[in-house]
Amino acid sequence: MEIQELKVKASQIRMDLLTIIHRAKTGHTGGSLSNTDILTALYYEIMNIDPANSKWEDRDRFIASKGHSVESLWCVLADRGFFPREELETYSQFGTRLIGHPNNKVPGIEMNTGALGHGLPISVGMALAAKRDGRSYRVFCLMGDGEQAEGSNWEAAMAGAHYKLDNLVGIIDRNRLQISGSTEEVMGLEPLDEKWAAFGWNVVSINGNDMEELLQAFRAVPEVPGKPTLIMANTTKGKGVSFAENVPAWHHHVPNDEELALALSELSASIEELTQKGQVQ
């Protein structure tokens, strides 16, 4: 897809995720909005996947360690054809497969996640298995920044470097906010990039809401052979909705009717602007 198409797609995914959260009256809105560009870059341009064969042995693996921000992932998987789009209407309803965290009963989900600090250790195991089995697939693991306070992440970071897993990509959705406020007030993380580098990872810091920067970073992997890559994706929590951006309460705020209408209007205007810009170019 062209850059403009990817940007339009990201705005459409944001509209979808806001709609299903509003319908279900539950969800993690801010983080899903911040990680949408990351997921769009991966699922529409970077990862080697086949929605018609979700268990293909040589597929790239994606692990959503920050499993609470699942709404964007559900919308991307539905749009890519892993399951019918109509099923999004069942999100968080009784008996649904589309629960509030990734559920491996759904095609495209490798494992159940949600307990923070679990995704990267399992990703290390998957990447190590690929190396030992002579497989070419890569493993992408999306983590939250508040999740960096979990010690299991640092054990996994040490193992990833020790086994020279250059087929492993860790991504931190660095929006600097967690449920109880600023990450630096709750549990200071900085200098976060230097810490990951000290654990033996190749660290790339980018604007995680900039599609060009995301694609450039992902396409360069492995930039340093023999080293896993950590992409520090600096994002804005609530990205794409002006009144939700950088507002801690939107971590799990459910938009009311008025807020949903306003948010969808803003995103529609963004799509129209992007479309017109693409036509002019």
Helix axes 119-133, 151-162, angle to 10 degrees: 20
Question: What is the predicted pLDDT for the residue at 279?
Answer: 62
- Give the pair of three-digit tokens for residue 179: 């449920």
Rounded to whole angstroms, the Cα distance separating 11 from 79 reads: 13
Closest Cα to residue 90, out of 78, 101, 99?
99
State the pLDDT at residue 251: 95
Cα(25)–Cα(93) distance, integer angstroms: 10
Could you say which DSSP state residue 45 is in?
I
CB 124 within 8 A of CB 154: no
Q: So what's the pLDDT on residue 42?
A: 98
Identify the CATH homologous superfamily for domain 3-280. Thiamin diphosphate (ThDP)-binding fold, Pyr/PP domains (3.40.50.970)
Per residue in 73-93, pLDDT (tens digit) is 999 999 999 999 999 999 999
Intra-chain end-to-end CA distance of the chain, in Å: 15
CA quadruple 235, 237, 241, 246: dihedral positive or negative? negative
Asked if residue 28 lies in contact with residue 71, where contact means CB atoms within 8 angstroms, the answer is yes
pTM: 0.96
Q: Could you state, in chain order, the average pLDDT of each consecutive group of 10 residues for the chain (281 residues)?
A: 95 98 97 98 98 97 97 98 98 97 98 94 98 98 96 98 98 92 90 98 98 98 96 98 96 97 97 82 51
d(CA 80, CA 78): 5
Q: How far apart are CA 229 and CA 223, in angstroms?
A: 8
